[in-house]
Amino acid sequence: MTAGGPAGPPPAWFSHELCFWHDPGAGSGHLPVGPGVEPLRQFAVDPDLRRAEGLVRLSGVLDRFTRHTPAPAPDADLLLVHTRAHVDRVEATSARGGDAGVYAPAGHHSAAAARLAVGACTAAVREVLAGGHRRAYCLVRPPGHHAEPDRAMGLCLFNNLAVATRVAQRNGARRVLVVDLDVHHGNGLQRVFWEDPDVCYVSLHQDGLFPPASGTAAETGSGAGAGTTVNVPLPAGTGHGGYLAAMESVVVPAARAFAPDLVLVAAGLDAGAHDPMGRMMATSRTFHSVVTSLCELADELCAGRIVLAHEGGYSAWYQPTLLLAVAAAVAGLPAPDDPFLHSLENLPGQRVAAHQRRVLDHLRTHHPLLSAAAVAS
């Protein structure tokens, strides 16, 4: 890969206006209006996503992509992961407004947006596996990684990347690596693939954030899938150095040990230093470095095939800059200017700390996938 962009066809960009219309109603933060909750806005309201795409367009980086407009995912795709009752519940809740599960508010356009989010990810996977593109980015909402087969959770209605993984496996990619960068743990992705030896789920998340008690280092899969779940519960306050160390000492060796046919990335931006939902210190440089590494891993391991999908990301002012950094990395461009960077880089927490290193060392020596790789090398 060169600074001018990856060899081969241009990367693909999937987005749909209706994903930006997803609006579960009046609320504040992650709660609807109620006793003690004054109306402001819910995090799941996403005009910010349109603003973020606007910055990518203004920078010229979007011109490096081929634009695609996704179609809604049909029931046949949703039912590869979800139960019929779950799909019906999401549709019904969306029609009347309310909570479709656990902290999963839905409103008038939500079910349609959720089907488009899945449809973007499945279309991207099909394009990449057919050779039309090597890399793809899906700017979608609602997010997906908390959604379980029978339960909506944490702003997620359908599990976008879980469905995309099953579609990939029906289109020639037997072994799929799913790397989750969202600051929360992707309990839905973990649950779907818990016993699947052909899907490796690797999650970098803030230790103990959400869901409660989910995503510990001891959760490594079971049955035929034993050893193919890799949780990296990073301590709150982890910044640029900690994320790069996690990539180098856990994600890269886990990916090489697993040897995927396709890489999918749950590209949440809520580990960003200004995010109201997380307590991490990642910057645009962090996301650019991590996504560049993942693209290079895909180049090395599976002919460059990689699909990234947006998940969380709730800082009104910093998310656009983070998205621009991710888009630049996917396009093979250098890290873009970041007017916020100087102040963040001068805060404590950007260098890897001993208590963060201990988590990585523990995984390297105890996780079945990593300790086996260490013995083999």
Residues with a known catalytic role: 146
Q: Which two tokens mark 160?
A: 């976008």
Closer to Zn ion by Cβ: residue 53 or 270: 270
Closer to Zn ion by Cβ: residue 11 or 237: 237
Binding mask 93-132 for Zn ion (x = CB under 5 A): ----------------------------------------
- The C-alpha atoms of residue 111 and residue 117 are separated, in whole angstroms, by 10
- Residues 258-277 interacting with Zn ion (rule: CB under 5 A): 268, 270
Residue whose Cβ sits closest to Zn ion: 312
Residue 114 amino acid letter: A
Closer to Zn ion by Cβ: residue 203 or 229: 203
Question: Please, what's the largest Cα pairwise distance for the chain?
Answer: 58
Q: Count CA atoms closer than 13 A to 92's CA, side-chain side.
A: 7
Query: Minimum CB separation from Zn ion for residue 138, in Å?
Result: 16
In this structure, the number of other CB atoms found within 10 A of the CB of residue 30 comes to 18
Query: Minimum CB separation from Zn ion for residue 180, in Å?
Result: 9
Residues contacting residue 42 through CB under 8 Å, at least 6 positions apart: 23, 24, 25, 26, 27, 28, 29, 30, 31, 32, 105
- Sole window of 57-65, 308-316, 328-336, 341-349 interacting with Zn ion (rule: CB under 5 A): 308-316
Of 46, 182, 219, 275, the residue at the interface with Zn ion (CB under 5 A) is: 182
Query: Minimum CB separation from Zn ion for residue 97, in Å?
Result: 23
Closer to Zn ion by Cβ: residue 153 or 302: 153
Closest CA to 371 of 234, 235, 174, 217: 217
Q: For Zn ion, how many residues bind (rule: CB under 5 A)?
A: 5
Site for Zn ion contains 184 (CB under 5 A): yes
User: What residues form DSSP beta bridges with 152?
Assistant: 101
Query: Minimum CB separation from Zn ion for residue 5, in Å?
Result: 29
Closer to Zn ion by Cβ: residue 237 or 332: 237
> HEC states along 121-190?
HHHHHHHHHHCCCCEEEEECCCCCCCCECCEEECCECCCHHHHHHHHHHCCCCCCEEEEECCCCCCHHHH
- Sole window of 5-13, 27-35, 214-222, 306-314 interacting with Zn ion (rule: CB under 5 A): 306-314
Q: Which two tokens mark 202?
A: 């690797």
How many helices and strands in the chain, by DSSP H and E? Answer: 13, 14
Query: Minimum CB separation from Zn ion for residue 313, in Å?
Result: 8
Place of tokens 């020596």: 365
Task: Give yes or no for a cis peptide into 348 (omega within 30° of 0).
Answer: no
Query: Minimum CB separation from Zn ion for residue 153, in Å?
Result: 11
- Cβ atoms of residues 61 and 67 within 8 Å: no
Query: Minimum CB separation from Zn ion for residue 182, in Å?
Result: 4
∠214-216-221 over CA atoms, to 5°? Answer: 90
What SS3 class is residue 29? strand
Site for Zn ion contains 46 (CB under 5 A): no
- The C-alpha atoms of residue 129 and residue 288 are separated, in whole angstroms, by 24
Of 312, 332, 336, 349, the residue at the interface with Zn ion (CB under 5 A) is: 312
- Residues 280-299 interacting with Zn ion (rule: CB under 5 A): none
Closer to Zn ion by Cβ: residue 133 or 184: 184
- Sole window of 51-59, 180-188, 200-208, 225-233 interacting with Zn ion (rule: CB under 5 A): 180-188
Closer to Zn ion by Cβ: residue 184 or 285: 184
Site for Zn ion contains 141 (CB under 5 A): no
H/E element holding 77?
helix 75-78
- Sole window of 50-58, 107-115, 174-182, 300-308 interacting with Zn ion (rule: CB under 5 A): 174-182
- The C-alpha atoms of residue 305 and residue 133 are separated, in whole angstroms, by 8
- Sole window of 60-68, 129-137, 178-186, 256-264 interacting with Zn ion (rule: CB under 5 A): 178-186
Closer to Zn ion by Cβ: residue 164 or 301: 164
Binding site for Zn ion (CB under 5 A): 182, 184, 268, 270, 312
